Structures are given as C-alpha cells and as structure tokens.
Structure 1
Amino acid sequence: MSLLQLCFTSFLLLLPLPLYSLNDEGLALLSFKQSLQQKPSTTQLQNWNPSDTNPCSWEGIGCNQLGRVISLTLPYKQLAGSFHLDSTNLTQLRHVNLRSNNLTGTLPPELLRSPALKTLVLSENSISGPIPPEIGTADRLQTLDLSHNSFNGPLPPSILNCKRLKQLVLSSNLFSGSLPDGIGPNLITLQSLNLSSNAFTGRIPGDIGNLSNLQGALDLSHNLFTGAIPSSLGALPETVYIDLSHNNLSGPIPQSRTLLDAGPTAFLGNPLLCGPPTKALCLSLPEKPKPMADDPLLEPGSGERRLSPALLAIAIVSGTVLAIGVVALSFAYWRRAQYGKRNDVAVAAAAGRSGAAGKEMLCFSRRDDVESLASENVEQYAFLKVEADPGFDLEQLLKASAFLLGNGGAGIMYKVVIENGASLAVRRLEDGGGGQRFREFQGEVEAIGKIRHPNIVRLLACCWCASEKLLIYEYVPNGNLATAIHGRNGVTNFKPMPWSTRLRILKGLARGLTFIHECSPKRYVHGHLKPTSILLTSDMDPRIADFGLNRLACNPTTAEESSSFEPPLAHTESSRTPSQCSPYPLTPTNAKTNNASFYYEAPEMASRSSASSSSKPSQKWDVYSYGMILLEIVTGKSPAAILNASEMDLGKWVQLSIDVSKAIGDIVDPFLAHDSGKELQMAAVMKIGLACVGGNPDKRPSMRNVGVALEKAGDE
C-alpha cells in the first residue's frame, strides 16, 4: 500500500468521528459491539446509537447519577465472537455480566485493568486460554465467575492480589497445575470457592483452612489432587458445603465435625481415603520391631524377620478361625439389636392441640412375625444420621415426648422434645405402597443432607421402614413467614414486622436459594417455595424448609390435603403429595384451586400437569415463587386474596398500581407507613419482585443477581 493510499484510508476511518456527539465511554462500548460477530437476524444491541450523547439508555448499560457507566449486563443475548472490551475509558465500570452467550477467544487483559471492577461473570461461554496475570490489578474484584468455559493453564499467582474476592467460581474448565500457596491468608474474604471439574494437580494447600468466612461451598471435586486431606480443613465453618470427591486423595480423613458433616458422598471417587464418614477402615500397620542379634527367626545375612513355613501356616489358620468367630458373634449381636429390640419400640404423641393424652406410632410399630423378617431384606428398618453427631440417637428419639403441630398431604409434623430438653421437628411420611426402596431413599438423604447453609433448615437424621419414614430436622422456634406477615387467626396481639426486618428476610432467602441453585452438587430446584415453607428464628432470620421433601416422600398414592388444614406455628406442611415418585410437585391444569401453593407457582409449571410431561424443572420456577413472596412481604397482601378480588395475580396488581401512578404508600403494607424515608428502597425492591414474576422465564433474573440487586437497593 502506497503512502497516499494509507493516508486516504486513515482519513476515511477518522472522518465519522467528529460527527459523533457520543462521549468516550460510549465509544469504548461501540468498539466492544464491533468486536462481536454481527448477524443480520439478530436484534441485540440495536439501540446502541452512536448519535446519542451518552450510552446510559442503551440495552444492558447501567449508569450512576452522574451519567457514568457502572455496569454492562448482557446475559443470554446470543452474543458471539471474540470480544474486546477496553476499560481505559470506562473508569467507573463495576459490574460485567456476559453469562450464557457464545463468546470465544481469550479474556481481554484490558478489561481487568478497570480500577473499579467488582463483578466479572463470563460463565457458560466458549472462552479459552489462561487467565491473564493482569487479574492481579483488579484488586477491588468481589465476584469472579468463569465457569463452564475452556480456560486452561494454571491459576496465576497474581490472583492472590484480589484480596476482596467473595465468590471465586472456576468450575468446568481445563485448568491444570497446582494451586498457588497463600489462598487462605490472601483471599480471607472468600465466601464460596468452586474449582470443580478441572485438572488441578498436586496437594490441596493446607492454608485453605484459613478461609474462615466461607459461607457457601468449597468444591474441589473432579480434579487430580493427590496426597492427604489437610487437617486444617476441619477448621472451616460447619455450614460450609465441602466436596472433595473424584480426586486421587489418600490416607485417613481428618476427624473434624466439618468434614464428618460433609457425609460420605463428599469423598467418593478417592479409593485410597479411609475413615469416617466413609465405610473404608484405616489399617494402621504396627512398627516393625528391631530384631535381636540372636533371634532364631532372623534369616542369616538379612535384615528381615521371617516366619518359618510351619509357623506361617499356623498363623494363617488361627487368624481365619478367629475372624470367622468374630464375624459370627457380630452378626448374632446385630440381628438381635435389629429385630429383637425393635419389637417394642413406640413413641407417644399428643392427640391434638388441646393437650389430650394419646399415643401415635411414629415408626417401627410392633411386628409379630419377626422370624419372617429375618429372611427378608435386612434393610427393613434403618436409622440414618445425616450429621455425624446430630445430638441424639434412635433410642432417645423413640423415648421422647411428641406434640402434634399439623397434619397435611406431606405427612404429620411433630415437635419432639428429647430427654436433654432439646427440641426437634419430626415429619412422618407414610409410604403405604413402598414406592421408594431403601437405597433410593438413602441416596436422596445423602445428597440433600449435604446442603448446609445458614438460611436452609438442616436435616439431621432419618428413619426408614417399609411403610413409613421419619425426617428429623432442627427445630426453628419462631413460626413461619405467612404468620409473620398476616398474623394468626384469633390472635389479637399481632406485631407487624418493620421494613428492616422484611428486607433482612428477603436477603437471607435470596442467599439460601442461590446456594441451592449454584452451590449444591446437582444445582437443585426447590420447586414448591411459599411463605409457609419459610421458617423464622428467634432473631427473625429466615430458614428455607421442605427442600427435597418431594424427593424423600416419593409417595405413589395421591393424598389430598385437608381443606381445614392451618399452617402450624413453627413448621410447615407441603401443599400436596405428588401422584408419582417425582422430585418436583405437579401442577393442576385448572386455574382456580384450593391449593395454597398454586398462587406461588410459575405459569409454565402448568405444563407439568401430567406425568408424561417432559418439561425440565427450572430454577426460574423458584425465582417466580420468590418474587411473589417478595411482593407479599412488601404489600402485606395475600396473592389468594388479590386473585379472588380482582381476578389478577399479585404481580399484575402491583404493576397496574404503578402504571396508574398510585403513591408508594398506597401500594405497600399500611404498617410500613411508620418507616418514613424508606419509600425509595421499597420501590426498588418491588421493581426486583416484578422482574422475578415476569411471564417469560428466560427474562427472569437468577437468584444470584436478585441478591446483588437487593444489596444495592438496601444501600440506597
């Protein structure tokens, strides 16, 4: 190219720029758009107009009050191409979310140089290459989610400079090499660390045990880690979900409560691990004694002690006989304990709320034909500890005093007080058809039992028998959310919750659901969230109940809920029993129903009204339920009452009220009138709720984004 041609080309490239009134931030974003593959059929980013003065009105762009760009949020937009985003002129850019697109290429180092960057979410794309060492310059970064891409290479040591990181999610990539030392001391603010499904090697750094602020997950599963499990992991908070499965770890598992509570599934796929909570025994070999010089068993000229063939044969025969005797005695004792002891086991329960004395067989009711059981499956009865030390055993449970809390389609709920004065919540599930075998039940219990979070009710233990099951939970003493919002029938001293308490409950629920969706091993869906399945502690902190209930109930017979059922004071009943062994409840096709859960179910759940439906359960169902609960908390209005009075759901009623310019005070709960000065917060929170109850599930936010939005709204 001649000099004249080069100058002419440069002139053409520069010619349009003086026509732009767009500021530098808008030009940087236009450069990002131009780096993407522009498809004629796509309508994305069509309003990114270079004739605008600033980009604040563009799709996916958020600005602060000064008109500076602070967020780029374009998830699920089918954006494609090797993107380029230079943050040199985006000095206030704090949040970047490009989740679930078709982005390729590598991570632009220029993006990491943004001095204000706090959130970077690029999950579920096809980005490859290593993490640039420039990651260390993003020292304000709090959330880094690069999961489900093709990143490779080792984790750069410079990431230890990101000392404010709270969420580090690198799962399902091609990372390799060993982890850098110093994760614990340098990333002390981490609340969740997920490095699963990569090819990391070497030993697990012992300093990871210093991550005392972990609240969510420590997931190192499906890697190539070797060596022993550091004993320092036992110092992690007990609520942390730990998964070390499918590595090459070896040796005994440190006996700490945190690791024992993780359950055996947290250590699967490590055949050289031993000790509780696994069933593999640790065989400790005694030290070899130092041989004496005149030892007749010492082979001349060798340093080894060897038995003669005759003595060796005697030792083998004696050991075999002794082992057979021990096994026979153990089996006789076990059989007596299994079948003899359980003949007379029963639990007394209150006959009703009036306090009248009565008896209720909770489990292990009397069997006359005990001998016939001996020839059947030895797992006719089982007591499963979900926690290594739940604080009680089966005998204490069966001797406890039980008080009836409620009776519904999901079984009877009791408050049980054991001999040391501790209270438990026990749900009795009938399984007359034997719809779920023990191994299936045990698998579900172990999976659900791994879900440990401060905002989720803990499952402590279970009883399984052929005709019924018991689920033993921690007892949450302060009633459920429905009672806290609306009070109880016949109770006059109802004290409404202030705005600060309602906002704290909403944030806690968002954290709990985010954990269920993102930190659980199978990315679960709750499936039947409603105010009666949200319990409150004495400090008014929320606990999500009934998680996994449908998976554990698995009742093949339909049991309709009593129409006179009233939600119990402290614990909740599921709205219905599924008509088949299904992990999620089915929804009736009729719009009007007496089922209280109906008003919180996403519209698309109606497609699951038949057992033959192939629609996949979605986490966006939970988002819809959460949004409806949020609007109920803010407005103080029951979705059922709104639907019956106006023939529209609560979300549409709130949106209509906003559209006709009703004052915020006329929309929110009248009791919140005392919280003057919080109207902007309430309006912002209602906007989040309306986004959650949108009719298109693809446009509903994730629970993680809901939590982030609530934190911002609470700071206003």
Structure 2
Amino acid sequence: MKLELKLGLMTLWGKWNLKAKVATGASAAGALMGLMLLILWYRRRTSGKSMIFWKKGSDINQKIEAILKNCGPLAPKRYSYSDVKKMTNSFKEKLGRGGYGEVYKGKLQNGEPIAVKVLNESKGDGAEFINEVTSISRTSHVNVVTLLGFCFEGHKRALIYEFMPNGSLDKFISNDNSSTEERQLGWETLYQIAIGIARGLEYLHRGCNTRILHFDIKPHNILLDEDFCPKISDFGLAKLCPKKESFVSMLGMRGTIGYIAPEVFSRNFGGVSHKSDVYSYGMMILDMVGGKNNVDVGVDDTSELYFVDWIYRRLETDKKIGQCNVMTEEQNERARKMMIVGLWCIQTDPSSRPSMSRVVGMLEGSLETLQIPTRPALSSPPRTLAADSSATDNLVSRSSDSC
C-alpha cells in the first residue's frame, strides 16, 4: 500500500514538474518574442529618424552645392570643423554672442584675421544657416561684410567673415558707453557711418540681381573696420525677392524690438517691403544722434514717443544738437540732416518713407532742401520688451516663407 502511494505521488510530481517546465518555457518564449518585437520597433523608428536626418542633411548639402555653383569663382570656401577649431585655436577668444550663436576671433593660414560665427546646434534644421550663406554670397560691396567661408558638417555649422577690428556700432552709441572718452565718435564720423550704411542698404535693395531685404538693421549688426567704415552683417533673417515684387509675404514677425517697422509688427499698417528696412535704418540713425547726446530712451513704454518728441523739439527750436553746444556749424548741420532723414524714414505709412537711394541723396544734399516731416504715429512694440535677449529672440521669426 505504501509502495503504491509512493508511486502515485511520484507520478503526480512528474506531471506537475512537466507542466511547470512547459509553462516556464512558454513564458520565456513569450518574453523573448516581446523583446524581439521591441527591438524591431525601435530599429524601425530610429532608422526612420536617421533617414529623415540624412534626407535633411542631403537636402541642405544640395542647396549648398547649388549656391557654390552659382557663385562661380567668387564662391566662399568650405572648411571642415577641424579646420574651424584650428583657425580659432579651439575657440579661445570670444568676440561676442548673437541670437544664433557665438562669434570667435581666428586667423587663416596666411595670418589674415577672421571672425567665426559658430551657430547653435539646437537651432532648427539649418534654414537660418542656408539663408545667410545664400544671401551674403550674392553680395560684393564695401558696406556689406564679406563672407570668406563656411563649415557645414552634420550639426556643426560656422560662418567665416572678414574681421572688423572696431567691433559693432552699438558699442559706440550706447548710453552706457557715452561717457567713456575712447567710445566717443565725432559727428563727422557718425555722419559718414550713416551714409555708408545707407549705401549698403541701397545696394541690397537695388544693386543685386535679386533684391535682398535684411529685416534686422540695428547698431549691433553694423560692424566697423579699422577706419570706421560700416559694413552690414548678420543676414540670418534676410529674404531674397525678385525686384519686380513690391511686397513680400511673411509668416509672423522678424527683427529686433525697437527697430521693427509697424507693418512687420501688424499688417494693418500696410504691406511688408524694402521700406521696412528703411524704417529700421531711420530708428538706428536717430539712435546714433540720441546716443551721442546721452538721451535715455529706455525709461518706460512711452520712451520711444519721448525720444521722437526730443528730436522734434530740437529741430523746431533750432537748438544745437550737441551737449553744451560744443559743435561747429558744419557739424550741427550734418546732425540735423541725420535727424530729419531719420524722421522721414520712420513714417508710419510705408509709402511716405523714402527709398534708400533717396536717403543717400538727402544726406549728401543741402540741409535747406529738407523739410521736417509730420510726427509719425509710432506703433511698434515698446522698447522695454527688449530689455533682455530672450525677449528679442522670442520675436524673431525663422520661418522659411517665400516672397
């Protein structure tokens, strides 16, 4: 009886053990199958992303090759990222920081000094990079900065420009620096800078085969060489347009607060065109006059209106522009021309603003021929929103819209 019971228990144990092994095997097979499916799904997904990234990279490369082909012998040179590191001594000397990257000083193999703008890796799919290379590769003018080369290697992108030893104009007209003797520019120098910038913009609007609208004219984007000759830089927001087109279509707003034309901020003021650059130029040369006189235009939301009122009061009362009236008659005349031209350029109605060709003529002509325009009803965003760079960056559109 005991033997039969023992045999029965052994039989039951064997059957249970077999079922357990089968169940364990099935579970393991199921887990393995799930793991294999997960791996296949992950590979397919990452492969798709890699294909998309490769396709985008391929598209940008094709655009770059087309640009270089169109430029012919004047095409900027393409460098590797290791070349860029050598040029900048591993990015040792930083010159400044912009909305899309940092600028470093470097030098070419022949010893020529250069400025290298290294674009942020997180900034989009390369549209801004292509936009700048495309725009500036089409230019050749004494008042437009020269693009010497570029680097496009995966996410690593850099633009190589001629070096401007005197930096940007904003350092010389900022209120913070106006009391520093070495930062002072004479009225004659300011006047020549205003004319040079106007000629550069006239060239972009009329002198190129394809009209270039800059959309970010401001003191920070005006570079000065050793002789204080101004050069327009930073074409990341520029648009290329056929000359026959009067207006351009644009998604959103682009530019820097304080220099954005009303129609760019709100289409209720009219169509966006080359006259939008004229407005930015007008605000800039008024800043040049105001900065020279240490006028505070950053007090509150009404500061821009206050600033323009200050300009009008000086013109209407025929007071000398300079502090303590330390100006010659010739200097005062040129300062007044800058003020009158600036006021014409910032008229709210784009059709009331002069072309850049007309601006050059007004600056170089006689003061007696210039009439003071009516006060513009300023409707651009208040300057206090641009107190920090993040506010400005948030109002910069990088969309690849077309003309």
Same fold (TM over 0.5): yes
Q: Is the 8 A contact 1:380 1:465 kept in 2?
A: no
Residue number among 537, 549, 553 corresponding to 2:236 in the alignment: 549
Task: Could you tell me which runs of 5 or more consecutive residues in structure 2 were left unpaired when the two chains were aligned.
Answer: 1-49, 240-247, 370-403
Identity of aligned residues (%): 30
Which one-letter code corresponds to 2:264 in the other structure? Answer: M
Cα drift, residue 633 of structure 1: 1.8
Q: How far apart are residue 531 of structure 1 and its match?
A: 0.6
Change in Cα spacing, 1:683 to 1:655, as seen in structure 2 (3 Å) is same
For 1:278-297, list aligned pairs within 5 A: none
Q: Return the alpha-carbon distance in structure 1 between the equivalents of residues 216 and 306 of structure 2.
A: 18
Report the counterpart of residue 530 of structure 1 in structure 2.
Answer: 218
1:399 corresponds in structure 2 to 86
Normalising by structure 1, we get a TM-score of: 0.37
Change (3 A) 1:476 1:704: same
More off after superposition, 507-516 vs 463-472: 463-472
Are positions 1:603 and 2:293 aligned together? Answer: no
The alignment partner of 1:689 has SS state of: helix
Partner Cα distance (1:640, 1:456) in 2: 30
1:466 positional shift: 3.6
5 Å-filtered alignment, 1:362-377, equals 376=54
Deviation, 1:396, is 4.1
* Matching residue's letter, 1:549: G
Q: 1:423 aligns with which of 90, 94, 113?
A: 113
Alignment root-mean-square deviation, CA: 4.0
Shift of 1:506: 0.9
Maintained 8 Å contact 1:624/1:694: yes
| Contact 1:499/1:672 (<8 A) preserved | no
Are the aligned partners of 2:212 and 2:238 in contact in 1 as well (CA < 8 Å)? no
- Matched residue of 1:513: which SS? helix
CA distance in 1: counterparts of 2:142 and 2:163, whole angstroms = 14
2:365 counterpart SS class: helix
- Return closer, same or farther for 1:672/1:605 CA change in 2, 3 Å cut-off: farther
Aligned residue for 1:497, secondary structure, equals coil
Deviations 1:349-387 (A, max 9, x none): xxxxxxxxxxxxxxxxxxxxxxx99x9568499687676
2:311–2:339 CA contact under 8 A, matched in 1: no
Distance 2:173 2:295 in 1: 12
Tell which deviates more after alignment, 649-658 or 682-691. 649-658
Q: Tell me the amino acid that sits aligned with residue 464 of structure 1.
A: F
**Other structure's SS at 2:106 match:** strand
Which is bigger in relative contact order (C-alpha 8 A, separation at least 6)?
2
- AA of the residue aligned to 1:520: C
Once the 2 structures are TM-superposed, how far is the Cα of residue 658 of structure 1 from its aligned partner?
4.3
2:196 counterpart residue number: 508
Residues 14-45 of structure 1, C-alpha deviations (whole Å, 9 max, x = no match): xxxxxxxxxxxxxxxxxxxxxxxxxxxxxxxx
SS in 2 for 1:678: helix
Query: 1: CA distance between counterparts of 2:166 and 2:124?
Result: 35
Distance 1:469 1:685, change over 3 A: same
Partner Cα separation in structure 2 for residue 672 and residue 497 of structure 1 = 16
Selected match of 1:649 from 281, 293, 305: 305
Partner of 1:139: none
**Aligned residue number for residue 414 of structure 1:** 104
Q: Which residue of 2 aligns with 1:449?
A: 137
> Which residue of structure 2 lines up, in the alignment, with residue 467 of structure 1?
155
Residue number in structure 2 paired with 1:622: 277
* Preserved CA contact (<8 Å) 2:191 2:334: no
Cα 1:585–1:531 shift into 2, 3 Å: farther
1:527 and 1:622 in contact (8 A); partners too:
yes
Point out the structure with the larger helix share.
2
Partner in structure 2 of residue 67 of structure 1: none
3-state SS, counterpart of residue 399 of structure 1: helix
- Local SS of the residue matching 2:257: helix
Which amino acid in 2 is paired with 1:406?
A: G
Describe the superposition over 1:32-66 as per-residue Cα deviations: whole angstroms up to 9, x where unpaired: xxxxxxxxxxxxxxxxxxxxxxxxxxxxxxxxxxx
Which amino acid in 2 is paired with 1:652? Answer: V
Partner of 2:231: helix, strand, or coil?
Answer: strand
Q: How many residues are treated as equivalent by the alignment? A: 299
Indicate how the Cα distance of structure 1 residues 408 and 681 shifts in structure 2: closer, same or farther if over 3 A, else same.
closer
